């Protein structure tokens, strides 16, 4: 019994001694030194050019493999299928008059921020300054400025008169990226990344489609931009667009647009805003890449 008590006491003493010397042997900081803190995964992401999680700069061309008849041509008046118009929106769309728009000098109503991503034409992205991303479109010669808030400053507020491109604020959002389009890639195929979120207000009323499908100045545009890369190195942008408008829409209008990166700007071809007369003859929807 005495031997067992002695062994027990020796064991306890040995454990206390080991616990006392283990930190120094493991390279732990000396007593009283501040403990290192792990990065906070919920901390706000850095913003602007310095905080860019994905590189969006370069020349991009849309690959039009969906909604061909509403994007590659001007559909006939009254063709607003898939747009969740309320009765007021339907009434306005049914009263569209292209000649009236042209006479009033309002050819750019279909080239505003809620619609410009869907218009066939190339997009060029660059940094105007460290906190402003510039999107240029050769269709309609339009330019959008996406403004990031500086750290520890109040959110940016829209100022000035309403315009077709509105006032856009942007922020980076952390999220893991998977290489290519494989939905269930192995763990090694997942790499750190992020996406861009854009919020646009202060819009001038315009069209969601060239045939007069309307959005009002009360509309709000949210966009989510993701960059993907295929195994062969081909780079893509996927822009998810969400338009809410209590005046003309009964629910949000959501579409996704795909852009493929080009090696240079040799095909850049700016053209003024123009809406062709609507196509009324029969046609076939056919997937195609914009040329």
- What are the boundaries of each domain within the chain? 59-286
pLDDT of residue 206: 98
CB burial string 69-90: b at 16+ within 10 A, e below: bbbbbbbebebbeebebeeebb
pLDDT of residue 192: 57
pLDDT of residue 66: 87
pLDDT of residue 157: 87
Tell me the C-alpha distance between 131 and 115, whole Å: 24
Q: Is the pTM of this model over 0.85?
A: no
Tell me the C-alpha distance between 198 and 195, whole Å: 10
Tell me the C-alpha distance between 239 and 232, whole Å: 21
Cβ pair 81, 258 in contact under 8 A: no
pLDDT of residue 46: 79
Structure tokens, 179: 């290489």
pLDDT of residue 43: 62
SS3 109: helix
Structure tokens, 124: 């060029």
Count how many residues are written for the chain.
Answer: 291
Give the number of other Cβ atoms within 10 Å of residue 177's Cβ: 18
Instruction: Mark the ranges of the chain whose per-residue pLDDT is less than 50.
Output: 1-27, 38-39, 181-185, 188, 190, 281-291
Q: Kind of pairing, strands 194-201 and 190-191?
A: unpaired
pLDDT of residue 288: 45
pLDDT of residue 128: 98
């Amino acid at each position: 019994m005495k031997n067992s008590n002695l062994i027990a006491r020796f064991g306890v003493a040995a454990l206390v001694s080991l616990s006392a010397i283990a930190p120094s042997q493991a390279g732990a900081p000396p007593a009283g030194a501040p403990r290192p803190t792990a990065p906070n995964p919920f901390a706000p992401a850095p913003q602007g050019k310095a905080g860019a999680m994905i590189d969006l700069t370069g020349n991009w061309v849309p690959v039009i493999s969906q909604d061909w008849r509403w994007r590659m041509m001007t559909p006939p008046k009254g063709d607003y299928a898939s747009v969740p118009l309320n009765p007021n929106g339907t009434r306005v769309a049914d009263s569209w008059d292209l000649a009236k728009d042209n006479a009033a000098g309002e050819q750019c109503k279909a080239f505003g921020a809620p619609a410009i991503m869907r218009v066939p034409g190339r997009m060029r992205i660059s940094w105007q300054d460290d906190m402003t991303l510039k999107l240029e479109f050769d269709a309609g010669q339009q330019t959008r400025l996406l403004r990031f808030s500086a750290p520890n400053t109040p959110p940016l507020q829209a100022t000035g008169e309403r315009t077709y491109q509105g006032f856009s604020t942007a922020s980076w959002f952390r999220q893991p990226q998977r290489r290519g389009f494989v939905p269930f890639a192995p763990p090694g195929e997942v790499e750190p990344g992020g996406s861009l979120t854009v919020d646009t207000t202060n819009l001038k009323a315009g069209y969601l489609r060239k045939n007069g499908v309307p959005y009002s100045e009360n509309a709000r545009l949210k966009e989510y931009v993701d960059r993907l890369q295929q195994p062969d190195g081909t780079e893509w942008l996927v822009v998810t667009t969400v338009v809410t408008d209590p005046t003309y829409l009964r629910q949000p209008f959501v579409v996704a647009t795909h852009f493929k990166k080009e090696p240079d700007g040799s095909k850049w071809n700016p053209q003024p805003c123009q809406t062709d007369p609507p196509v009324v003859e029969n046609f076939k929807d056919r997937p195609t890449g914009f040329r």
